[in-house]
Amino acid sequence: MARRTVSILGATGSIGTSTLDLIERDLETFEVVALTAQRDVAGLAAAARRTRARLAVIGEEALLPDLSAALAGTGVEAAGGAGAIIDAAALGADWTMAAIVGSAGLRPVMAALERGRTVALANKESLVSAGALMTRAARASGATLLPVDSEHNAIFQCFAPEAPEKIRKIILTASGGPFRAASRAEMASATPEQAVRHPNWSMGAKISIDSATLMNKGLELIEAHHLFPVGADRFEVLVHPQSVVHSMVEYVDGSVLAQLGTPDMRTPIGHTLAWPARMATPAPRLDLAAIGRLDFEAPDYDRFPALGLAQAALAAGGARPAVLNAANEVAVAAFLERRVGFLDIAAVVAEVLERYDPPAPASLDDVFAIDSAARTRAAEVMERLVT
């Protein structure tokens, strides 16, 4: 592979460390420009030392002295603050991994896209809240946007861009999460510990809760709609507990193309890192004979109302997905802090969507105004729930 410069935004998280794992195997090919993290000074400094990064950025500005101390004598430059993360994204490495969680990723992703290089996108919230603005910026700068999310990476590998009108359906698979077979009563009393325990994937806390409510699949439907130019009504969700088939594309002739693999994010990350070539990764090989069978079932919209809320937001478009995303982030954080119950997450999102229906955002500033107004309303709704 040709030598290239790379940056990782959110280097200390689940996706960030999987990305580092691939890059560190070949530091001859991958020259690290910038690594960022929010709070984990030790993890960030260690990764910057190992990869001989040019720059390490900590989001919490108060932690900059600690980072500088940890990097003293290494030659790695240290910086701090949300603005410094955006500046790091704007350095324009040949390849940038966008793996910050939540809407905090929006401005860094936009800064990377505006540089017109390759952006490997894990931060789905940026496409959910500002998909039209993001894809427009990518087109304007000539940036290549490669999907990291396993479903979208699978679809990307099966999607014939020259003939989108020949696509009948795009089928996103969902594991069903830890509560796939749980009763409503069990879900009502679910603890954060139970909800983050994903059956197949090991991921950050926020996306793990989203997987348990199926909001993750809803966010992914919206994400897919921005990445793949077919009508909003052509996306479907299929529950597939083994997480082997990562998604499928059905063509008008009846052919259904799928991408399969073990549930290890190093496969889709490696795909975006080597694209359009291929690289070896240490992900476990798929052994279908050992797995024996693959199961599929329709999603249950009654037990998982978040999926329906996201589908409605996708169909309505405009600001609805940004409102949905912001309310969900607040409700998930409250659930993780045990301030609301598991079933309250979707209930809070539904109520915020009912109360707040702003016009479509025309800029990233509009998106942040909507995001913050939706957060305020979510907090109000939750206030009533707990009292």
Binding site for Mg ion (CB under 5 A): 149-151
Quick one: 33 or 85, whose CB is closer to ligand NAD? 85
Residue 125 in marked binding region? yes
Which are the contacts of 355, defined by CB distance < 8 A and separation ≥ 6? 377, 381
In whole angstroms, give the CA distance from residue 125 to residue 256.
Answer: 28
Q: What does 99 bind: Mg ion, ligand NAD, none (CB cut-off 5 to 8 Å by kind)?
A: ligand NAD
Residue 167 in marked binding region? no
Q: What angle do CA 55, 89, 5 make, to 5 degrees?
A: 65
Residue 220 in marked binding region? yes
Residue 126 in marked binding region? no
In whole angstroms, give the CA distance from residue 119 to residue 116.
Answer: 9
CB of 350 to ligand NAD, least distance (A): 21
Which are the contacts of 270, defined by CB distance < 8 A and separation ≥ 6? 22, 279, 280, 281, 283
Residue 204 in marked binding region? yes
Closest CA to 132 of 317, 323, 315, 371: 317
Cβ-proximal residue to Mg ion, closest one: 149
Residue 14 in marked binding region? yes
Residue pair 49/70 in contact (Cβ under 8 Å)? The answer is no
Residue 216 in marked binding region? yes
Q: What does 51 bind: Mg ion, ligand NAD, none (CB cut-off 5 to 8 Å by kind)?
A: none
In whole angstroms, give the CA distance from residue 269 to residue 147.
Answer: 9
CB of 50 to ligand NAD, least distance (A): 16
H-helix segments, the chain: 14-24, 41-51, 64-70, 82-89, 106-114, 124-141, 150-158, 184-188, 192-196, 205-213, 215-227, 266-274, 288-291, 305-316, 320-336, 342-355, 364-386
Q: What does 37 bind: ligand NAD, Mg ion, none (CB cut-off 5 to 8 Å by kind)?
A: ligand NAD
Closest CA to 325 of 51, 103, 144: 103
Dihedral angle over CA of 238, 240, 241, 242, nearest 10:
-150
Residue 13 in marked binding region? yes
CB of 204 to ligand NAD, least distance (A): 3
Residue pair 96/34 in contact (Cβ under 8 Å)? The answer is no
Which are the contacts of 293, defined by CB distance < 8 A and separation ≥ 6? none
In whole angstroms, give the CA distance from residue 21 to residue 266.
Answer: 8
Q: What angle do CA 233, 328, 14 make, to 5 degrees?
A: 95
CB of 379 to ligand NAD, least distance (A): 18
Quick one: 32 or 351, whose CB is closer to ligand NAD? 32
CB of 59 to ligand NAD, least distance (A): 4
Residue 354 in marked binding region? no
Cβ-proximal residue to ligand NAD, closest one: 13
Quick one: 223 or 344, whose CB is closer to Mg ion? 223
CB of 44 to ligand NAD, least distance (A): 8
Q: Which residues bind ligand NAD (CB under 6 A)?
A: 10-16, 37-38, 40, 59, 85, 99-101, 104, 122-125, 149, 201, 203-204, 207, 265
Residue 254 in marked binding region? no
Quick one: 220 or 351, whose CB is closer to Mg ion? 220
CB of 354 to ligand NAD, least distance (A): 25
CB of 359 to ligand NAD, least distance (A): 26
Task: Bin 310: left if φ > 0, else alpha if -120 < ψ < 50, else beta.
Answer: alpha
Crossing angle, helix 106-114 and helix 364-386, to 10 degrees?
160
Q: Quote the radius of gyration of the chain (alpha carbons, Å).
A: 20
Quick one: 33 or 351, whose CB is closer to ligand NAD? 33
Quick one: 38 or 51, whose CB is closer to ligand NAD? 38
Annotated binding site for 1-deoxy-D-xylulose 5-phosphate: 124, 150-151, 175, 198, 211, 216-217, 220
Binding-site positions read 12-15, 39, 123-125, 149-151, 175, 198, 204, 211, 216-217, 220
Q: Which residues are annotated as a binding site for Mn(2+)?
A: 149, 151, 220
Give binding residues for NADPH as ranges: 12-15, 39, 123, 125, 204
